[in-house]
């Protein structure tokens, strides 16, 4: 059973066990996990035919970017006269190319046109990147899927792996990319027992190389497939479904379905035209408070938007009105510097060829810079990649005590008695705590992160399993970056549409539903991009259970300069067609949140026209 999050995978296994608990089937034989976790598990088993060592380690996105940056510097690409793409841009180009099975030239033309001039330099960069990963027996996220897919190109291996599984089930299939679809074709080459579940109308991750074609072309790729349509909706009331059915009905190519609900009638969705962003903010706050007074907690209400910055002015208004909120997004746990430092120690012991991890931890020692670190790494490599030999490296005088302590730490971590991950993290922390205190601010909060990491590690049997889970299913946030404590028991949800997928609220307000924001003006170059933007609007509006509001400001002020009346008029989103609007209650509001009336009740002053005429006498 394959899906995209660990929680979803655990839930699938739990449900399967509940269904079959009275039968004879042993659900313990079932595999359940994310695509990447399953790939990692299979590649450990089939490491030899894949050309890998079983002790390979997996880099996170940040480490992959660091490796690309080193290669970028070694190839002299960072010293060009013109601006060469930065490491994260290079990694994005590489990932898009391999996941979408597209040549670099096509990826550059479609998604990174400002980098097109560097095509001839990017190809050698990526080739060297692949070479160094193989030499050091490290994989990035993309490699896990690519190696799995390539393994299945061999008939013998494909038959053996395929025979391990009587049935394969994939959830959220609309979010798969070309490589993942290729994996499934390889897995089921000799067995057609495959079932995928998904909604083509919710395929919104094109920026990750996911393609709706996998859903739409499934009957062609797997002949004899049966398509089962699930049309009953258990979330929304009927008026909301009437609107969203009309909305998605504009899609050029889709599985035809008309969602219905037994939840009955209620308030029709409201389309609200506001005079400007300030009027939009006032309407949103007024609506939120009105529903709050009706008994709907703030946590059961959400404000959604296409891009994060579109909520900026609303956040100021919420703060002014003392309405607590949480906005979804932020730094991932493994991207925090102190967490990466500690994990680097575990990675070099698990895989001494991991050059990126060595570079990170060696430069934590006083007196060690990039040049000395590279010499030390080369020393370990020349001594059979035994990490314990680091203590024999002749370091500069200022670094010798630090190297001696590091050598003692590595010896402790490699002894059989010290292989428990929890005790290893505890030992690393004793070495690292003085470093943490010295080089980072807010060390107490950072130390709590590492204490949490130690407790989590104690629940694992092996260092490899702990590192794998930490890399493939990391926590989403880190305590040292948290703001002031939010002691209110209730808060409003602010979220991008992408982050809201899979969630639901009693009240949903979709703001900035104007052309240029939805669809984004950066995603209207091709018909398939506009189609995905339409699906984004559909996902946003189908998050609502009982109340749906869609707002768009007529006037946008230009903010290049603080005090200016420069503004533009916006158009209603092209997705809100006349047919869609006919299912909604349409309202126009002024700056104070009331219907605008431009006619004064005072009688006309007849003398004004005559005075203007006589000015030129």
Q: Please provide the size of the chain in residues.
A: 617
Instruction: Look up the CATH superfamily of 333-481.
Output: PCRA; domain 4 (1.10.486.10)
Does 249 sit behind a cis peptide bond, omega within 30 degrees of 0 on the bond before it? Answer: no
In 3-state terms, what secondary structure has residue 168? strand
Lowest mean pLDDT among 39-43, 324-328, 339-343: 324-328
Sign (positive or negative) of CA dihedral 505, 506, 512, 514: positive
Lowest mean pLDDT among 421-425, 480-484, 510-514: 480-484
**Residues 297-325, mean pLDDT to the nearest whole number:** 87
**Residue 442 binned pLDDT confidence (cut-offs 50, 70, 90):** low
**Residues 579-597, mean pLDDT to the nearest whole number:** 74
Q: Could you report how far apart the first and last alpha carbons of the chain are, in Å?
A: 89
The CA-atom distances, in angstroms, between 19 and each of 14, 153, 591 are: 9, 35, 56
In 3-state terms, what secondary structure has residue 167? coil
Q: Which of the pair, 331 or 21, is modelled with greater confidence?
A: 21
Q: Is the pLDDT confidence value at 581 over 90? A: yes
| Domain-wise residue ranges, the chain | 2-53+143-221, 60-136, 238-324+486-589, 333-481
The HSE-up count of residue 309 (CA atoms within 13 Å, CB side) is: 2
What's the CA gap between 425 and 460, in Å, rounded?
A: 12
Sign (positive or negative) of CA dihedral 261, 266, 272, 277: negative
Asked if 238-324+486-589 and 333-481 have one fold, the answer is: no
What's the CA gap between 324 and 488, in Å, rounded?
A: 7
**pLDDT, position 561:** 44
In 3-state terms, what secondary structure has residue 556? strand
Reported as a single tens digit per residue, the pLDDT across 270-306 is 999 998 888 899 999 999 999 999 999 999 999 999 8
**Residue 611 binned pLDDT confidence (cut-offs 50, 70, 90):** confident
Q: Is the pLDDT confidence value at 568 over 60? A: yes
Sequence-ordered strand ranges (E) for 454-510: 492-496, 505-510
Contact between residue 109 and residue 94 where contact means Cβ atoms under 8 Å apart = no
Within 10 Å of residue 499's Cβ, how many Cβ atoms? Answer: 15
**pLDDT, position 591:** 52
**pLDDT, position 485:** 44
**Residues 38-52, mean pLDDT to the nearest whole number:** 91
**Residues 184-198, mean pLDDT to the nearest whole number:** 91
What's the CA gap between 368 and 356, in Å, rounded?
A: 15
**pLDDT, position 598:** 37
**pLDDT, position 171:** 92
The helix (run of H) or strand (run of E) holding residue 157 is helix 155-163
Q: What is the DSSP string of 341-403?
A: HHHHHHHHHH-TT-HHHHHHHHTTSTT--HHHHHHHHHHHHHTTT-GGGGGGS---GGGHHHH
Q: What is the CATH number of domain 2-53+143-221?
A: 3.40.50.300
Question: Cβ contacts of residue 273 below 8 Å, gap of 6+?
Answer: 551, 552, 554, 572, 586, 587, 588, 589
The HSE-up count of residue 577 (CA atoms within 13 Å, CB side) is: 13
**pLDDT, position 600:** 43
**Residues 384-399, mean pLDDT to the nearest whole number:** 87
What's the CA gap between 490 and 288, in Å, rounded?
A: 13
Q: Is the pLDDT confidence value at 579 over 80? A: yes
What's the CA gap between 357 and 334, in Å, rounded?
A: 13
Q: What is the mean pLDDT of the chain?
A: 84
Per DSSP bridges, beta strands 544-557 and 567-569 are: antiparallel
The HSE-up count of residue 200 (CA atoms within 13 Å, CB side) is: 20
Within 10 Å of residue 180's Cβ, how many Cβ atoms? Answer: 23
Contact between residue 213 and residue 180 where contact means Cβ atoms under 8 Å apart = no
Q: How many helices (H) and strands (E) does the chain have?
A: 26, 14
What's the CA gap between 31 and 38, in Å, rounded?
A: 8
Q: Which of the pair, 590 or 40, is modelled with greater confidence?
A: 40
Phi, psi at residue 326, to the nearest 5°? -130, 130
Reported as a single tens digit per residue, the pLDDT across 98-138 is 988 889 998 888 888 888 888 898 999 999 999 999 988 89
**Residues 53-69, mean pLDDT to the nearest whole number:** 86
Q: Is the pLDDT confidence value at 17 over 90? A: no
**pLDDT, position 560:** 44
Contact between residue 265 and residue 238 where contact means Cβ atoms under 8 Å apart = yes
Question: Cβ contacts of residue 286 below 8 Å, gap of 6+?
Answer: 593
Question: Cβ contacts of residue 117 below 8 Å, gap of 6+?
Answer: 82
CATH architecture of the domain covering 238-324+486-589: 3-Layer(aba) Sandwich (3.40)
Contact between residue 47 and residue 152 where contact means Cβ atoms under 8 Å apart = no
**pLDDT, position 301:** 95
**Residues 346-358, mean pLDDT to the nearest whole number:** 88
Q: Is the pLDDT confidence value at 595 over 60? A: no
Within 10 Å of residue 442's Cβ, how many Cβ atoms? Answer: 11
Phi, psi at residue 58, to the nearest 5°? -110, 125
Does 403 sit behind a cis peptide bond, omega within 30 degrees of 0 on the bond before it? Answer: no
Most confident of 11-15, 22-26, 468-472, 493-497: 493-497
Lowest mean pLDDT among 20-34, 350-364, 574-588: 20-34
Reported as a single tens digit per residue, the pLDDT across 502-551 is 889 999 999 999 988 888 877 777 788 889 899 999 999 999 999 999 99
Q: Is the pLDDT confidence value at 246 over 90? A: yes
Closest CA to 457 of 415, 405, 418: 418
What's the CA gap between 36 and 470, in Å, rounded?
A: 12
Tell me the pTM.
Answer: 0.74
Packing angle of the helix pair 119-136, 87-99 (nearest 10 deg): 80
Q: Is 408 exposed, middle or buried (0-12, 13-18, 19+ CB in 10 A)?
A: middle
Specify which residues 57 forms β-bridges with.
Answer: 138
What's the CA gap between 128 and 71, in Å, rounded?
A: 7
Q: Which of the pair, 594 or 337, is modelled with greater confidence?
A: 337
Q: SS3 letters for 73-110?
A: HHCCHHHCCCCCCCHHHHHHHHHHHHHCCCCHHHHHHH
**pLDDT, position 80:** 65
What's the CA gap between 148 and 138, in Å, rounded?
A: 15
**Residues 584-589, mean pLDDT to the nearest whole number:** 88
Lowest mean pLDDT among 36-50, 69-83, 155-169: 69-83
């Amino acid at each position: 059973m394959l899906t995209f999050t660990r929680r979803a995978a655990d839930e699938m296994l739990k449900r399967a066990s509940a269904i079959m608990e009275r039968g004879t089937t042993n659900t313990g034989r079932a595999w359940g996990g994310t695509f990447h976790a399953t790939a990692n598990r299979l590649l450990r088993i089939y490491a030899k035919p894949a050309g890998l060592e079983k002790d390979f380690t997996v880099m996170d996105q940040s480490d992959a970017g660091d490796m690309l940056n080193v290669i970028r510097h070694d190839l002299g690409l960072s010293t060009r006269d013109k601006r060469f793409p930065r490491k994260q841009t290079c990694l994005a180009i590489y990932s898009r190319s391999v996941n979408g099975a597209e040549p670099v030239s096509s990826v550059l033309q479609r998604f990174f046109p400002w980098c097109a001039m560097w095509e001839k330099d990017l190809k050698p960069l990526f080739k060297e990147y692949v070479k160094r990963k193989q030499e050091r027996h490290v994989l990035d996220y993309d490699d896990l899927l690519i190696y799995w897919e390539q393994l299945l190109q061999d008939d013998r291996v494909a038959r053996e792996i395929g025979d391990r599984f009587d049935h394969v089930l994939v959830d959220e299939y609309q979010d798969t990319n070309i490589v993942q679809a290729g994996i499934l074709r390889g897995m089921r080459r000799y067995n057609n027992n495959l079932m995928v579940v998904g909604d083509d109308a919710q395929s919104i991750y094109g920026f990750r190389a996911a393609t709706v074609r996998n859903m739409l072309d499934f009957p062609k790729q797997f002949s004899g497939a049966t398509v089962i349509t699930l049309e009953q909706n258990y979330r929304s009331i009927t008026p909301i479904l009437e609107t969203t059915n009309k909305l998605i009905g504009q899609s050029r190519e889709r599985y035809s379905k008309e969602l219905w609900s037994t939840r009955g009638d209620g308030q029709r969705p409201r389309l609200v035209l506001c005079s400007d962003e300030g009027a939009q903010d006032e309407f949103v706050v007024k609506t939120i408070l009105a529903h709050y007074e009706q008994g709907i907690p703030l946590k059961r209400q959400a404000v959604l938007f296409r891009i994060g910055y579109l909520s900026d002015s609303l956040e100021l208004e919420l703060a002014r009105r003392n309405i607590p909120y949480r906005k979804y997004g932020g730094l991932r746990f493994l991207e925090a510097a102190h967490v990466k430092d500690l994990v680097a120690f575990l990675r070099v012991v698990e895989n001494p060829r991991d050059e990126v991890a060595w570079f990170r931890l060696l430069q934590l020692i006083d007196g060690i810079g990039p040049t000395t670190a590279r010499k030390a790494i080369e020393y370990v490599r020349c001594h059979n990649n035994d990490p314990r030999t680091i203590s024999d490296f002749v370091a500069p005088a200022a670094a010798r005590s630090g190297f001696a302590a590091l050598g003692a730490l590595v010896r402790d971590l490699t002894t059989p008695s010290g292989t428990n991950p929890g005790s290893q993290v505890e030992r690393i922390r004793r070495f690292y705590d003085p470093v943490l205190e010295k080089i980072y601010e807010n060390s107490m909060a950072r130390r709590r992160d590492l204490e949490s990491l130690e407790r989590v590690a104690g629940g694992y049997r092996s260092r490899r399993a702990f590192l794998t889970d930490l890399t493939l299913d990391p926590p989403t946030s880190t305590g040292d970056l948290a703001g002031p404590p939010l002691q209110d028991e209730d808060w409003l949800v602010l979220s991008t549409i992408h982050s809201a997928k899979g969630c639901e609220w009693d009240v949903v307000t979709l703001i900035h539903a104007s052309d240029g924001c939805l669809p984004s003006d950066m995603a209207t170059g091709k018909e398939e991009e506009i189609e995905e933007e339409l699906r984004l609007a559909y996902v946003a509006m189908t998050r609502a259970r009982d109340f749906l509001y869609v707002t768009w400001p007529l006037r946008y002020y230009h903010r290049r300069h603080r005090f200016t009346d420069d503004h533009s008029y916006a158009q209603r989103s092209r997705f809100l067609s006349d047919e869609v609007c006919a299912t909604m209650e349409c309202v126009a509001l002024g700056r104070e949140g009331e219907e605008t009336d431009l006619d004064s009740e005072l009688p006309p002053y007849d003398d004004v026209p005559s005075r203007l005429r006589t000015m030129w006498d």
